[in-house]
Structure 1
Amino acid sequence: MADDREILPLDARLLSEAIFELNVSRRNVNIYPPGHPSVEKSLDKAFDSLERLFEVRPTITFAVAKDTIMIDDSTLDKKNTAFREFALHISGMNIASVTLRAGLTRDELYKFLSFLSVDTKELTPEALQEILDGYGLLHIDVGFIDYDAFSFGEGMTEQGDGGAAGGTAGPGLWERYVRGLLDGTLQTDGASDVIQNIPPETLAEMLNETDPGKIKEAGCERVINTYMKRSAKKAFSSGELARLIDFISKLRPELKRQFLSSAINNVTTDIRSTERALREISVDKIIELLSTIDEQQVTIPAALKNLLDKFSKFYQLGSEDTTFGDSIIADDIFLSPDVVTLLGKGDFESYVTDVYQKEIERVLWFDVSEVASKELEELRKSCSDELVERYFNQTMLELISSDIIAEDEYEYLINTIKDEAAQFIETGQYGQVLKIFRVIEANISKKKFPDISLEAIKYYKSAEFIAQFIESLRIIGRQAREDAQQLCDYYGERIIEPLIEALVVEESQSIRHFLISLITNFGDKAIPAAIKHISDSRWFVKRNMLHILNECGSKEVLPHVRPYCHHENPKVSFEAIKCLLKEGDAYGVNALRGYLHSENRELVEQAVALAGIYKVKELVPDLIQMLRKKGITGKDIYEKIPIVRALGQIGDPQALDAVRKALSTRSILFKNAVERLKEAIYRSLRYYPYEHVRDLVEKGLKSKNERIRHDSMRIKEARSN
């Protein structure tokens, strides 16, 4: 059995190969339609790599922080392009960790890679979790980043340390890095970017919770070197030295001596950088450092001692200037007694307040490079080819709108503007093209050289120009969505058919989504064209047309949709069922009921997910019957999890008797599967009326399972609020 295998260290070669193949397959799934040879080939390779890994250990969990992948407190090579690309994409979706378990099917892997293609720009982690739940992944857990849940401390469990929400999450990412540095299990060259982001007081707080006896000298050295970004080729700055002083000052006394010794060893390796940094930081910081060294009685090398003595004498030195009578001679200038009194140590604070002193320090420390770079960037923008073209176009539009040009000049400018319009189309500047159309149409309404103006508008509405526009939409349109939609609105219904024809032959999934969004924006005006193409023999064309009808349609389209509920390709039939369920059509409910009782497990899972998403109350009895089915194997128990989730989304209290029965499930051989089922049940309780699940929530608060306690507390707090 998979659960009985010994958990061994991951083989580096197998792991590298698996991550590489996952990244390749992810890109192909995003680019090509299902069933495409490139998708099938890369998916096979990724699945085979994971299968080989599962032979070594039954569970693989990796965490992601920015551009770094971490497994078992070690980081993969950040210089590897595939690792870095995969990490950046995963972290860009606010994913903190991914767990893959033995038993993972090829179809589940494809669904997961499809999920990674979801556009997450405007989605919250909760919304992403809902989308992920819809895929019904039994052997993959995804932990989403929950920035409010980061906490640090010794002795935290995996379940209790919240670095992510909605899935299996390891310890807090910052704490994992620091712990890895202390233990020597983390590559320091891959940790600097993360460690540098930790505020000094937070880093000190994390270490203050650690047993001093477990912190070795080498661990201190690694933390200090990483926090200061030290290397043999790089000098440290005054800012890094100030951060180090702040960090040490916040440590507990028994830790302060350990880390202060490591810090002294660090800064002594480059005494010139140390002197330069000391000259640039504030007097208060130097005094703080001297006080800490004196307090801890730390032995320091002679070179550093001489340097510190030099600075301490400099700041404590009294006035020994040459005097003449009651005046001081400074640089051959006589300073009067009044000025001497003003600059004296005793009266300085009376004239220069703390607020004024801070203002002076802000001026001294102000970095002008950022301001200069912004001004330089603005200058570059003002000289860019795109901006120059816009100004040129604006000038020509003003000329053809004026009354100072003759007919031949007008015709010349109109032809020149045609060339500019073609350029704007190629570069995705659809707003500029729209300006051209409006100016020429305004001239037509004024009857200004009407023959020339009408001929120009006729050209812009020709099949040739619209084809150029469609091709531009495919290549660059997604970068200017709003302007692209406005230009489509200008063309109106005449552009719907060309857009659908482009959709039919488009291979890129992301471009298909963009074209569909442009089409569905026309609402019911797009219905006739979609119905026309739904009879196409290619299944993916049927699916896309059904999707358009689902977005744009109404009850009038249902007769055209019903025949496809039992299509030989499930992707077509389920798209048709979605369209019917959206309108509450009974035919769609019955078709979905048929798939619930299918012999094909994948079809059953899709039907269960749709029943929950569309809250089909008519199918609650069927789902209850499926939930009551006795589970013999671990697979049977896992298969109940999507059913529990769907019943929860529907939220019908009549399902709670079956849910309570499922909570009483016991199994000696499949304890892990039973725990996952119970966790899914408690996650689903938030959808039911609270008065019907109050007793379950109270029991959950006393559970030994951290996730169940957490979900129960959230439900109770939501009820209180």
Structure 2
Amino acid sequence: MAELSNGVKSFMADEKEKLPLDARLLSDAIIELNISRRNVFIYPRGHPSVEKSLNKAFDFLQKLFELRPDISLAIAKDILIIDDFFLDRKNPVYREFALHLNKMNIASVTFITGLTKDEIYEFHRFLSEDFGDSSVETLQEAFNKIKLIHIKADFINYDAFVFKEGETDKEAPTGQLWEKYIHGLLDGTLQTEALSNMVQEIPPIAFAGLLNQTAADNLKEETYDRVITTYLRKSSERAFTSKELKKLLDFINGLRPDLKKQFLSSTVRTVSEDIDSVETVLRETPVDKVIDLLTTINEQQVAIPEALKNLLDKFSRLHKDKGAERLFRGNLIADDILISPDVLNLLSDGNFEIFVTATYQKEIQKLLDFDSTKIAIEFKELRRECSDECIERDFNITILELISSDIISEEEYTNFINTLKEHLSQFIGTGQYGQVLIIFSVLESNAERGRFSEITSEALQYYHTSEFISFLVDSLRIMGRLTREESLLICNHYGERIIAPLLDALIEEGSQAVRRFLISLITSFGDKANPEVIKRLGDNRWFVKRNMLFILSECGGKDVIPHARPYCHHENPKVGYEAIKCLLKAGDKYCIGALKENLLSESSEASKQALALSGTFRVNEVVPDLIQMLRKKAISGADFHEKIPIVKALGAIGDPRALNALRDVLSTKSLFFKDSIEKLKEEIYITLKNYSYNDMNDLIEAGMKSKNERIRVESLRVKRSHNG
């Protein structure tokens, strides 16, 4: 579980100091891409979950495009790579996304500036298709058909890297991905445990071609040995095979002369360490290949140990007629398999109809002629029902039914409980909190019934440990926004115990979107969250104080007043703003003085925030200050524009003391700032509806005669409202 908990961190700890500045943004983008991929697979286009997740993925990618014009992800089995950084292999979301791309034989995918939501959707549709064991050509053709201008994908046909007797090696696509692996191998920075398999899968000619671009002056002896050892798959636990030796010979023959000698010397050193394995390999190697190896060694004047030289000479003298058929007692031997004459007769054309009747042939022809498109929709639904997600969910339901029944033993019950633990961890890692709650419900029901009470109680206790709750909170950070209702339900299930971990996660969270979501979970507890929030008000970091005051404001309660008051005059205006808002919401007038100070502040932002608070909470105490600000002489168009928020605040309060000041503004005329004054007058008439009609009916009558259409419309609306 500790590994799972750590898995939701953005990147590996040992790379943390090297990460690019947009690491968090990149992490969010990948997470949202994987979420939208899953939703596109499950739901039709237009479904709220699909549209919401597509929007989020699109927004994060747009933010990344502000930093660079394209984003390229390389895939190495279950690892994602960007630039020279490996994303955390333990992160279940990264791993799931990488494995799915790898399943489609995608070596790398690039998202380019100009990308649209429709292109993301079509890309996910492509990823959702079941291509079975299709060739790379089929995959590439299917990808090209959807015509994605701003998404590029490179495919690798892994089957082409396996050398089979009687087959020629197919040419596989090269690209930046292979270059990255080879440069990492030469530099000694490649994580060989995770990625050496990818190096071994590079076709020998392509491998040689990439190495030919390298300057030999920069390579050391240990570098040559490292390349050969990796490419041969040689280790202390296993020897190399004849297929790998053939591949290595093709690789060496493709090198330029100066590199060929060095790599050949390294090969001789490497294979000479295990003469017995070499002999076994040479027994399986064609004689012409052995002769080619000796010729190459002689041409390059490479010194080889006497034991290896004798062994090579021995095998080069062996002759084998591969063209002749091998017979044993009149029977044909093919690939070491004895084929009897009866079988040969059966397979002959003349006897075919004896064993395959005309009726059977007609049935086969019917199958070949059948139009499968008629049932394509049914098959699509069937494939969906057979997906890993659906099967896993049904399997989980079956286990829950079994542990609720009386037909299983204690040992079987224990095994099922352990299986549920694995399922539950996976459900949490993928944000399926509804399934988690179903499991909890069944276990709690079993506990009430006393069914294997000790085992059940132990399982329930585990799900309430700090370690498990921490894992849950990490999952909520990453996956919770997609399933808000289920997230709220599971938080409600844990009750007040989860508040502290949520607050701690909020404090450390770097994403604004995730912070908003965590705050929504915390505030759902109402004033029950206040004690834990108040504890964290003493944190020295200003943004922590601000967030805690915001939560107290949302949660409410009279107990927050004495804790919020000290922060009204805080040195950071954002903290002071939240403290004032918190107290105004609680109905405490202590903050009025601080509010007035902010109204008259030289900071435009502080003044606007104070105006907004004054109007929102209808603070009558600041009306004289607002009137004074409104009467202040304007000397530019900008000055008139800045009076609009003052008019809005006064209008929201609706205090009749402001009407005379409004009349003065309405009588103002100017040749230079006519447009600005007209906008201000329009705002006055928009807010008149909040005043007593009897106090300003003269303004309404004048407005109905105005040349300004907006003023006439607003005046008529107020009068009609008054007349009913």
Instruction: Please give the TM-score of this superposition, normalised by the length of structure 1.
Output: 0.48
